[in-house]
Chain A
Amino acid sequence: MILFFQQILNGVLIGSVYSLMALGLTLIYGILHIPNFAHGNKYMLGAFISLTLVSLFKINYWLAILLSMVVLALIGLLVERYIYLPLRDQPHINSFIAAIGLLLLLEGIAFAIWGGEWHRFPFAYRQNLSFFGITITLHRLLVIVAAAVLILLLQLFIKKTTLGWTIEAVAQDREGAQLVGINVQWVSGMAFAIGTALAAAASSLIAPVYLVYPAMGSLPLIKAFVVIILGGMGSLPGAVIGGYLLGLIESLAGGYISMIYADLFAFAVLVIVLAIKPTGLFGKKAEG
């Protein structure tokens, strides 16, 4: 029984990270209709920037996360403006390739600046908490809470603020939004910036739990895509629910069936979803 709850907790932890990543991806996909493959490496950059801020400049952890989010948001804006915008009228495959190019570019830059070794995050909040026989580090608990807060904030932002409505409008119908006088270009940039900032948050939060290295973005990226398919591409609630669901599935299956094949279950989920309901739990119509 203890194992069960322990795994649930782990699942929620991992799920939080997946959700944040998937949210960012969904925002970008909803507006621009490109699956952003470079997202994983922006995630990675976010972690590295936080790492540098904390270890080199001795900045407070939470502040570092915020700063990292801001920096990544700026990078997101630049990327959208100079790379994806010119490609908007071209077949989607070209945006794929641009994303791959960007992925390589970012990985190369990270490698050049920080080297290839695995870095350990200078750790805070190491205390272990224990309740009902389950142990968890204070940090992990904080991550779960912080992620939940971020997700709630995002939800409020989308539903209650004008900018949030504008983003939703553009996601629903780009031309219609233009007709109503929305500056679609600016909104796309904003959405991209927010999405990228979310990735930075996800990685900075989880970085102290694992290690930080240039290739750290690949697996979370693919998992995030699985989440999106599970939850339904273009659906924000889908991304969140899918994220936690995947985290739980991975954790429970990994704990009870086999740790080694844990990753495999994530992809098995992908296969099953595609075979049964390709549009996912909350998805909109299939891509044409």
Chain B
Amino acid sequence: MLMKKWSLIILLLLFISLPIFVQAKYPLHLLIMVGIWSIAASSLNLILGYTGQGSLGHAAFFGIGAYASALLMIKLGLSFWFALPLASCVAAFFGFLIGLPALRTRGSYFAIATLGFNMIVTIIIEHWESLTQGGAGISGIPKPHPLNLPLVGKLAFTSMITQYYLVLFFLVLTFFLIYRIVHSPVGKTYLAIRGGEPLAESLGINAMGNKLVSFTTSAFFAGLAGSLYASYHGFISPDTSNFHLGFDLLIYLLVGGVATMPGPIIGAVIMTLIPESLQFLLEYRIIFYGGFLILIVIFLPRGLVGLWQTTFWPKLRKAGQSNRG
């Protein structure tokens, strides 16, 4: 366990020091987007990986978070630092509303239900023009207001590097919070539900209540990611809630490793880097992407972290043990 703590700290230091090595705009942009997707993928991991409910509509909460944040900042003049948590709560609220009917179903039904809700959200965003400006989207979303820090003085968020740290901060926060949830008795309850709902209920677990809480929390973090996206990108449209995003998140989870903590992050990193490095393939990119996905799911179903856990790590441990013994 000490190994784990140290490797986490080292990784953290690595991420914090990254901007020293990576100064160019485009790679930084990629890193920031990876960070945002990681938060969103982690949110999906909570309900899907740990609670076993395969939601395909998470893009809805991402979009709701983005729009809520943008509208709070632009129409009500709130500062980002208030808008972000509020918007996340709005997303969580919708998670609750949608979860109420949707979680009464399971498996494929549930997946389709969430997908249907996602489409409803997208359609409403697109057509409620008085509120959301419809298909034109909202532009000019402000970046976070400068913070007054005690020692450092004013910290403005205009440069990409500061935004990278902002996203990194929230990623670490999300990671930490989800980690705590998952490793608490509540987390064990979720795992029990994932393992088999009827069995869990026979043990006295309130499946519906727990699923609802998990779903709502997951929506919260998805909304948080959406808010970050809104401020970073500056522009959002109904497309921000497009269900394809939900599919992308699912892919990141699978490639990285479902129900693992580093999984979503690793998945986001790899699946963002791959299209980038495949730029030269132009329109054949999607073909490659789809094919890659199929191969991964057939040959590497537990994702990369799963591969590490089942193959490499035991070998390393064995090597370590035989050295001692």
Chain A residues with a Cβ under 8 A of chain B: 29, 33-35, 83, 86-87, 90-94, 96-98, 100-109, 111-112, 222, 225-226, 228-229, 233, 260-261, 263-264, 267-268, 270-271, 274-275, 278, 286-288
Contacts and interface: CB of A to CB of B under 8 A. Distances in A.
Interface of B: 48, 54, 56, 101-102, 104-109, 111-113, 115-117, 119-120, 123-124, 127, 197-198, 247, 250-251, 254, 258, 283-294, 297-298, 301
19 contacts: A83-B298, A92-B107, A93-B258, A98-B293, A100-B293, A101-B293, A104-B286, A106-B290, A108-B286, A229-B109, A261-B123, A263-B119, A264-B124, A267-B116, A267-B119, A271-B117, A274-B113, A275-B104, A287-B106
A255 B257 CA distance: 47
Given A104-B293, A264-B124, A274 B101 contact: yes
B293 A274 contact: no
A261 B127 contact: yes
A108 B284 contact: yes
Contact of A286 (B106, B286, B297): B106
B46 to A, nearest CB: 15
**Residue of A101, A225, A226, A278 ringed by the most chain B CB atoms within 10 A:** A101
Contact of B289 (A83, A104, A261, A288): A104
Contacts of A98: 293-294, 297-298
B253 to A, nearest CB: 9
Contacts of A33: 108
Nearest to B248: A100
A271 B116 contact: yes
Contacts of A264: 120, 123-124, 127
A104 B104 contact: no
A94 B301 contact: yes
A92 B108 contact: yes
Given A108-B289, A228-B112, A260-B127, 15 more contacts: A35-B111, A87-B298, A96-B250, A97-B297, A100-B251, A101-B290, A101-B291, A107-B290, A222-B119, A225-B112, A229-B109, A263-B119, A264-B120, A264-B123, A268-B120
B111 A267 contact: no
Contacts of A107: 286, 290
Given A92-B107, A270-B113, A274-B101, A97 B254 contact: yes
Contacts of B254: 93-94, 97
A172 to B, nearest CB: 18
A108 B127 contact: no
A277 B298 CA distance: 35
Contacts of A274: 101-102, 104-105, 109, 113
Contact of B54 (A83, A90, A96, A106): A96
Nearest to B56: A96
Contacts of A263: 119, 123
Contacts of A96: 54, 56, 111, 250
Contacts of A94: 254, 297, 301
